Structure 1
């Protein structure tokens, strides 16, 4: 892979990795406080947010 290919891979993966780490950290904090990992009613929005971040990373 060329240097430009690696740059494209990094630009695509950093937003996705940041989102995943933030989501897991949020879930871990809620679990540590005795709450459910996700607030009520947000289970529907997580796949939508994942798609937004993934498509945003692909388009950059």
Structure 2
């Protein structure tokens, strides 16, 4: 896997997770801990994308 394809995959995962967080926040039945976990994972992906983009 090349660096650019890896970055594209990370960006795709970040976008998918972003949509899932938005949907979960609109649903009153969603557990706050699950939303926090998704946000943390989303931040981790963003940091990884940023780190790899500066290489």
Provide TM-score, normalisation by structure 2: 0.45
The TM-score with structure 1 as length reference comes to 0.43
Of structures 1 and 2, the larger Rg is shown by: 1
